[in-house]
Amino acid sequence: MADKTQARRTPLSRDRVLRAAVALADDVGIDSLSMRTLAQELGVVPMALYKHVSNKEELLGGMVDVIVGEIGSPEPAVDWKSAVRQRILAARRALLRHSWASRVIESRATPTPTVMAYMDSMIGMFLAGGLSVDLTHHVMHALGSRIFGFSQELFDAPRDLDPQRPALGEMTTRYPHIMQIASANHDRHSVVGSGCDDQFEFEFALDLLLDGFERLWRLGWSSTGHRADRL
Amino acid sequence: MADKTQARRTPLSRDRVLRAAVALADDVGIDSLSMRTLAQELGVVPMALYKHVSNKEELLGGMVDVIVGEIGSPEPAVDWKSAVRQRILAARRALLRHSWASRVIESRATPTPTVMAYMDSMIGMFLAGGLSVDLTHHVMHALGSRIFGFSQELFDAPRDLDPQRPALGEMTTRYPHIMQIASANHDRHSVVGSGCDDQFEFEFALDLLLDGFERLWRLGWSSTGHRADRL
DNA sequence: ACCTGAACACCGTTCAAGT
DNA sequence: ACCTGAACACCGTTCAAGT
């Protein structure tokens, strides 16, 4: 009751709407965030939100902007590679605080100015390091969602490898190779249900890409040769 | 009218439901595919679908299975690298025929048996090539959604670079680095609005990763050294 | 002029009534 | 026993009525 009065007294603002939306998504999950539940949380009628965000799409865009704001500025570094690496891992830390964020970022159609600015500064780090405009372009594409600190993880070795489970035998005949990886993983951790080390996998792929970029950079690689036939 | 009678006469089956769903999504987009519109397309009442798919989640899973079925079997190849490369590019061709498919694949929570079998065969290609179980595990994570022939493309150089547009000047001051890439791209194609060459970008990143995997393989790389401190 | 309750046009899914 | 229309519990958003 006191909260509701408080909420009524504090005037709504775009910033307050966005922060409440982020907090609510953190709490109940992005699927349960609706214009109606958000309005209720703020103690206002649903329509009151539409004065601060033009629709739900724009609300989600604003929520992404809040998270991108949490990434912070790049730390000064000697070389472009470690500068980019540190920045991307900082982005990852920000994203991990909001489990819904990666799904919202990937589902959004057009980037907001804040997201554009983040991408622009990332490009700037490569160019400042001496990579050509051409190479930087392809590098940005190759990183894809990794610039924001996440990647599309479709593969996950089964967490549940209890040998007692009757389905295990069937799994091994149906997916022999997946089970090979799952067993190896299981042996290493010596704990049932440990799954994969997401942070390790992320850094493995990131470093593989960064090393590849560096190699092309040192070779003075350019795409013109590759695509000359298509011009 | 004739269509409706036809639809009524042909009995519903899970297969017919899934194929109709894929065709409808191709036509009107995934956002316009609902249990209700699909039922209407098939000339049945919405509830009739629930005898063949238990809910919408399962319908989407079945639709993904149809597309994965279109990928086909891997062609025999001399080395694992070109075998994997060909298979992934085949997957990409299948996905490009259904623009909604990548979004559905990435949004699905748990993989269907068909998807598991596809992943299993992909793992098998690396193992058959002589990569260790350990390396193959990390390789699968690093590829992520690329095993299905797509990647999360968040960066796209502006397609619309008409110098007449008044907003262009503002863009250049706000996002100088993005505009550098856009201009370079623009000069090369000599056509306004050409955008990026998605296929080139996909193969660029894929080859960078495959080259990296090959290098680690030749070096006899293993993750145990890297994660020894965490055990 | 401002605010907002009711309404609109949808969803996926349940369930009971009808055959 | 099977099928299905109506209903339920939601959506995002419009709009007109009330202040």
- Residue A69 confidence class, pLDDT cut points 50, 70, 90: very high
Q: Does residue A228 come out as left (phi exceeding 0), alpha (psi in the -120 to 50 range) or beta?
A: alpha
Cβ of B89 less than 7 A from strand C: no
Contacts of A227 in chain B (CB under 8 A): 197, 200
pLDDT of residue A31: 95
- CATH node for A2-54: 1.10.10.60
B182 is written with which tokens? 């856009």
B34-79 per-position pLDDT tens digit: 999 999 999 999 999 999 999 999 999 999 999 999 999 988 878 9
pLDDT of residue B157: 80
Contacts of B223 in chain A (CB under 8 A): 200, 204
CA atoms of B120 and A107, how far apart (whole Å)? 28
Contacts of A148 in chain B (CB under 8 A): 154
CA atoms of A91 and B229, how far apart (whole Å)? 24
Considering only CB atoms, B137 lies closest to which of A154, A157, A174, namely A157
Q: Where in chain B is the domain with CATH 1.10.357?
A: 75-154+196-230
Which of B168 and A223 is assigned the larger pLDDT? A223
Cβ of A57 less than 7 A from strand D: yes
* CA distance to partner chain B, nearest, from residue A215 (Å): 10
Cβ of A35 less than 7 A from strand C: no
Question: Is A99 in contact with A149 (CB distance < 8 Å)?
Answer: no
Q: Do B177 and A231 touch (CB under 8 A)?
A: no
Strand C interface, B 40-59, C-beta < 7 A: 46-47, 50, 55-57
- State residue B151 phi and psi, 5-degree precision: -145, 160
Comparing alpha-carbon positions, the chain B residue that sits nearest to A155 is B141
Mean pLDDT of A55-81: 94
Which among A26, A152, A24, A149 is positioned nearest to A94, based on CA atoms? Answer: A149
> Looking at the predicted structure, is the pLDDT value of residue A6 above 70?
no
Question: Is A212 in contact with A141 (CB distance < 8 Å)?
Answer: no
Residues of chain B with pLDDT under 50: 1-8, 191-193, 227-231
Q: B213: burial class by Cβ within 10 Å (0-12, 13-18, 19+)?
A: buried
Comparing alpha-carbon positions, the chain B residue that sits nearest to A128 is B177
> Looking at the predicted structure, is the pLDDT value of residue A149 above 70?
yes
pLDDT of residue A230: 38
* CA distance to partner chain B, nearest, from residue A47 (Å): 24
Mean pLDDT of A180-206: 80
Q: Where in chain B is the domain with CATH 1.10.10.60?
A: 2-54
pTM value is 0.90
- For the domain made up of A75-154+196-230, the CATH class stated in words is mainly alpha
**What is the share, in percent, of chain A residues with pLDDT greater than 70?**
85
| Cα-based distances in Å from B108 to A60, A194, B72 | 20, 22, 22
- State residue A130 phi and psi, 5-degree precision: 105, 5
